[in-house]
């Protein structure tokens, strides 16, 4: 059948697809996006600087926009160019990222800045192929940076685009299936315009985050609602099928508070572990079938060669991670032997208590320090 706009709708099995009038689809999205009352006012949209756009895209991975904005401003103020970022020490980059989560992004960001400075003359590549050669740049990030910064006709597929495409094209299968993801990327590649690709991609993402929301989508105000299969069929709440929430795991973490002469001992986490390269009060995960104080004694002896006594509860702090929670419990204690032997940490340091907040501590340890001192 065909609707009033001349769009041909055909049904094949469980999926309903739309054929024809692709320029109209693009034009309606772009027209909607360019309305001042429609487009989100985001700081990275006021620039064409590939470096600033790259920083925003890396920060926006798995993180909400409102959380990213203050980090984005602070990061660019501290590292205004690729060269400045490349020259910065690891600890400075982790400190600027501290609290944003997914710390592998910060490591990739730093590695990419060094590679761009060393091998690309400080210029971020302007093609999808070139961008994907850099650490931490996947298909989505490459498409976003190439289209937004350089107006390359490169497609993007993120959670918002998936929802828009699944509803518009009537894709009822689970978008987490490999074959469906391939189908969505094929659709994205076919639809991206040769010009204004950056605006078009941002329009798709804005549509998914503002109108085509997971629950109660605002179809009356949607610029492409007239030929959206989900709206025509009344499937808006069914497409895409909801993902069952994964159960969150709670990790019980113990740490020792060792003080001397107005300073406290902190240790730097290994780079291959959770929260890599950040600092914490030394300790570890509660050992199975072991009482808390005994666990902490064993952890400190194994990881630092320190034997401690007089463990007394000092405070607790909860830290929410991406798929798990940390329940941190601190104990004040005294070291019998002052010499530290590293076995699991990168380094240790005695830090003056009033300087703790300047150190790139994990977010949980930062809050714990405010409670304890």
Report the run of H or E that residue 254 belongs to, with start and end. strand 249-257
Tokens of 85: 């970022």
Question: What burial class does residue 84 get, using C-beta atoms within 10 Å of its C-beta: 0-12 exposed, 13-18 middle, 19+ buried?
Answer: middle
Is 57 considered catalytic here?
yes
Q: Is 13 helix (H, G, I), strand (E, B) or coil?
A: coil
> Is the separation of the CB atoms in 336 and 300 below 8 Å?
no
Residue whose token pair is 């104990």: 331
228, 24 contact by CB (below 8 A):
no
Which listed residue (14, 57, 272, 352) is catalytic?
A: 57
Q: What share of the chain is helix, strand, coil (3-state, %, to 5)?
A: 45, 15, 40
Residues 6+ apart with CB under 8 A from 216: 237
* Beta-carbon contacts of residue 291 (< 8 Å; ≥ 6 apart): none
User: Tokens 């300790």 sit at which residue?
Assistant: 283
The residues carrying an active-site annotation are 57
């Amino acid at each position: 059948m065909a609707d009033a706009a001349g769009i041909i709708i055909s049904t094949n099995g469980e999926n309903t697809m739309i054929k024809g009038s692709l320029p109209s689809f693009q034009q309606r999205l772009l027209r909607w996006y360019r309305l001042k009352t429609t487009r989100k006012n985001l700081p990275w949209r006021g620039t064409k600087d590939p470096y600033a756009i790259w920083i925003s895209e890396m920060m926006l991975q798995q993180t909400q926009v409102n959380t990213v904005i203050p980090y984005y401003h602070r990061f660019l103020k501290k590292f205004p160019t690729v060269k400045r970022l490349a020259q910065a020490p690891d600890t400075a980059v982790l400190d600027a990222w501290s609290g944003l989560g997914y710390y592998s992004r910060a490591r990739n960001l730093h590695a990419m800045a060094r590679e761009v400075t060393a091998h690309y003359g400080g210029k971020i590549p302007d093609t999808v192929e070139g961008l994907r050669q850099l650490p931490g740049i996947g298909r989505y990030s490459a498409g976003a940076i190439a289209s937004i910064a350089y107006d390359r006709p490169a497609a993007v597929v993120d959670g918002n685009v998936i929802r828009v495409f699944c509803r518009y094209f009537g894709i009822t299968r689970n978008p987490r299936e490999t074959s469906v993801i391939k189908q969505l990327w094929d659709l994205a590649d076919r639809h991206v315009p040769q010009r204004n690709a950056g605006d078009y991609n941002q329009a798709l993402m804005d549509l998914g985050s503002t109108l085509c929301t997971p629950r109660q989508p605002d179809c009356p105000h949607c610029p492409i609602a007239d030929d959206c299969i989900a709206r025509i069929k009344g499937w808006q709440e069914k497409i895409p099928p909801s993902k069952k929430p994964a159960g969150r795991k709670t990790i019980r973490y113990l740490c020792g508070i060792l003080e001397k002469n107005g300073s406290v001992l902190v240790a730097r986490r290994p780079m291959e572990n959770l929260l890599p390269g950040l600092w914490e009060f030394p300790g570890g995960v509660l050992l199975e079938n072991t009482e808390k104080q005994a666990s902490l004694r064993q952890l400190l002896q194994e990881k630092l060669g320190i034997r401690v006594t007089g463990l007394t509860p000092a405070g607790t702090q909860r830290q929410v991670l991406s798929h798990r929670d940390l329940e941190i419990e601190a104990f004040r204690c005294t070291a019998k032997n002052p010499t530290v032997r590293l076995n699991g940490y990168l380094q240790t340091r005695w830090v003056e208590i009033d300087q703790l907040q300047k150190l790139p501590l994990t977010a949980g340890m930062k809050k714990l320090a405010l409670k304890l001192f």
